Chain A
Amino acid sequence: MTINEIQDELIEEFELFGDWMEKYENVIQMGKELPVIDVQYKKEENLIKGCQAKVWLHADYKDGKVLFMADSDAIITKGLVSMVIRVLSNHAPEEIVAADLYFVDRVGLREHLSMTRSNGLLSMIKQMKMYAMAIQSKVKAN
């Protein structure tokens, strides 16, 4: 599936929810289901410091694709992180760099991307793109 196909799938899933509570319950559930990140990756250099919630991000490059792993100490943030990983992980660096993450707005979670939310989500997306960009230039150089 392409990045946009996954985004559209997520949007469709969220359309099923009647109210904000069901929507957030789903986000929380996704947070709980996010595969546990290996302790060795929860190190200082993988930490994206938001003002309140901590987010750890680790990336691997394998067979031309970037694989992301992440965790957060706040469950709603973790749910949001899990959505971003579902969309961006396991894609080629150039696809990740070019991705327009419209799903956050479309599923009605746009407020989580605002600066005042300070949940590290915005920084995490930037970090993922930068990582993909770094790999892209490395691959080109070789």
Chain B
Amino acid sequence: MNTATIIAQEIPDIEKIRRDFPILDTKVNGRPLIYFDNAASTQKPWQVIKAIEHYYTNLNSNVHRGVHYLSQKATDAFEASRRKVASFINAEHDYEVIFTGGTTESINLVAHSFGKQFVKACDTIIISSLEHHSNIVPWQILCEEKNAQLKVIPINEKGELLMDAFKAMLDETVKLVSVNYVSNSLGTINPVREIIELAHSKNIPVMLDAAQAVQHMPVDVQELDVDFLVFSGHKLYGPTGIGVLYGKEKWLNQMPPYQGGGEMIKTVTFEKTTYNELPFKFEAGTPHIEGVICIGAAIDYINEIGLEKIDRYEHELLEYATEKLSEIEGIKFIGTADNKASVVSFNLENIHPYDVGVILDQFGIAVRTGHHCTQPLMDIFAIPGTVRASFAFYNTTVEIDIFVAGVKKAASMLG
């Protein structure tokens, strides 16, 4: 059985799925858009777009404090979405799900509040070489402030973490390990279970940046026993400006608030303020209500297709693309880990990735070129950046064929 047959069996209703995403009908330079920039942001199905419209036409009102009809309805929808997110990642309690502006804000919240409570001079925070700037810079700010140190797990030439080195780093100064579940630049799926087990054996908590994971595979925070897990709505077929911080109750309760304002308080006098309970303690101000409600709509949509099915299908797309691209002379894959999500990063010999991106754009193919906000990782490979194609379940092998032909044309034009 060839790859195409397997794919056809996995998602027999691919055309129906594609019809759910109106933007996929876009024409670029008269050609159909091929959207392979899903690791940067995914497209939105009608189910999410309509949920946004539904919110503003039926529910719009501020949540939690109103006694009136609309506020009740908006609050019910808002909290129903929190339950959906909790169930999506199998959190033990709904109140362990905090809504934020995105993955970046979630990480900043933990760096600030966990850091304030638990990190002191000479302590260590561990991250990895694969991190996005969002999981580097907040820790650098914290370490500078506290005079603590940041240590980085090295990688091998395939873009896999060196676990022996990681083990050796786990001493009594380490206060937190914060690594990505899936690398945004290379697609490497990190051995997170092993990372968590090793860290926990030394009583060190672990945070997972799951921004590139939750859209590709089922994630169960209880099964992982992870202490914090963060992700964004817009990479999960939901709206921008909405993110999630999952934290174990025991940690969240011990952490001071991130921002002060409305919603996060219990009582306020000019002398003293007492803080609200979880999750509200970390949700100061009027939240992104429509974003919260629509991340729920996105989760409903994904659940309907099924993450196991998505995982298998996207893996087939990854294998198909890797095989087809391998035929191109002078191609060098950056990131060849054994365990990968549907991300292909590569360079063509003596050709700048930016030039490849410009030519592919002329063909209507959207890829990302550059350092993907992982400059230290690009430095390790001694390259200015890569061409990155990242696939979602609405992509097809036909699109990959056109993409590969585009890359070949770019190679001949630029070489």
Establish whether residues B384 and A24, one from each chain, have CB atoms under 8 Å apart when the complex forms. no
Nearest B residue to A73, CB-CB: B352
Q: Is A42 in contact with chain B by the CB < 8 A criterion?
A: no
Q: Is A9 in contact with chain B by the CB < 8 A criterion?
A: no
Shortest Cβ distance from residue B119 to the other chain A in the assembled complex, whole angstroms: 32
Shortest Cβ distance from residue A57 to the other chain B in the assembled complex, whole angstroms: 18
Task: Report chain B residues within 8 Å CB of A53.
Answer: 352, 354, 384
Q: Is B29 in contact with chain A by the CB < 8 A criterion?
A: yes
Establish whether residues B384 and A54, one from each chain, have CB atoms under 8 Å apart when the complex forms. yes
Cα A96 to Cα B139 with chains together (Å): 46
Establish whether residues A24 and B413, one from each chain, have CB atoms under 8 Å apart when the complex forms. yes
Establish whether residues B413 and A77, one from each chain, have CB atoms under 8 Å apart when the complex forms. no
Establish whether residues A52 and B413, one from each chain, have CB atoms under 8 Å apart when the complex forms. no
Q: Is A25 in contact with chain B by the CB < 8 A criterion?
A: yes
Cα A118 to Cα B359 with chains together (Å): 15
Q: Is A122 in contact with chain B by the CB < 8 A criterion?
A: no
Nearest B residue to A23, CB-CB: B362
8 Å CB interface, B352-376 against A: 352-355, 358-359, 362, 369-371
Nearest B residue to A118, CB-CB: B370
Over the window 111-129 of chain A, the binary record of Cβ atoms lying under 8 Å from chain B Cβ atoms (1 yes, 0 no) is 0000000110000000000
Cα A54 to Cα B371 with chains together (Å): 13
8 Å CB interface, A14-37 against B: 20-21, 24-25, 28
Establish whether residues B362 and A119, one from each chain, have CB atoms under 8 Å apart when the complex forms. no
Q: Is B205 in contact with chain A by the CB < 8 A criterion?
A: no
Shortest Cβ distance from residue A66 to the other chain B in the assembled complex, whole angstroms: 28
Cα A75 to Cα B359 with chains together (Å): 12
Establish whether residues A52 and B369, one from each chain, have CB atoms under 8 Å apart when the complex forms. yes
8 Å CB interface, B303-359 against A: 351-355, 358-359
Taking each of B352, B359, B370, which has the highest tally of chain A beta carbons within 10 Å of its own beta carbon?
A: B352
Shortest Cβ distance from residue A130 to the other chain B in the assembled complex, whole angstroms: 24
Taking each of B355, B359, B413, B414, which has the highest tally of chain A beta carbons within 10 Å of its own beta carbon?
A: B355
Task: Report chain A residues within 8 Å CB of B45.
Answer: none
Q: Is B385 in contact with chain A by the CB < 8 A criterion?
A: yes
Chain A residues bordering chain B, tally (CB within 8 A): 16
Shortest Cβ distance from residue A13 to the other chain B in the assembled complex, whole angstroms: 18
Cα A119 to Cα B357 with chains together (Å): 12
Shortest Cβ distance from residue B292 to the other chain A in the assembled complex, whole angstroms: 29
Nearest B residue to A119, CB-CB: B354
Cα A119 to Cα B369 with chains together (Å): 11
Q: Is A99 in contact with chain B by the CB < 8 A criterion?
A: no
Establish whether residues A21 and B362, one from each chain, have CB atoms under 8 Å apart when the complex forms. yes
Establish whether residues A24 and B362, one from each chain, have CB atoms under 8 Å apart when the complex forms. yes
Establish whether residues A51 and B359, one from each chain, have CB atoms under 8 Å apart when the complex forms. no
Residue in B29, B352, B362, B371 whose beta carbon sits within 8 Å of that of A75 in the complex: B352
Shortest Cβ distance from residue A36 to the other chain B in the assembled complex, whole angstroms: 16
Task: Report chain A residues within 8 Å CB of B414.
Answer: 28, 75-76
Task: Report chain A residues within 8 Å CB of B352.
Answer: 52-53, 73-75, 77
Task: Report chain B residues within 8 Å CB of A74.
Answer: 352, 354-355
Cα A74 to Cα B413 with chains together (Å): 13
Quick one: given A28-B414, A52-B384, are A20 and B355 in contact (CB under 8 Å)? no
Interfacial residues, chain A to chain B (CB-CB below 8 A): 20-21, 24-25, 28, 51-54, 73-77, 118-119
27 A-B pairs within 8 Å (CB atoms) are namely A20-B29, A20-B362, A21-B362, A21-B413, A24-B358, A24-B359, A24-B413, A25-B413, A28-B414, A52-B352, A52-B353, A52-B354, A52-B369, A52-B384, A74-B352, A74-B354, A74-B355, A75-B351, A75-B352, A75-B355, A75-B414, A76-B354, A76-B358, A76-B359, A77-B352, A77-B354, A119-B354
Closest 9 CB pairs of A and B: A74-B352, A52-B354, A74-B354, A52-B370, A76-B355, A53-B354, A20-B362, A74-B355, A76-B358
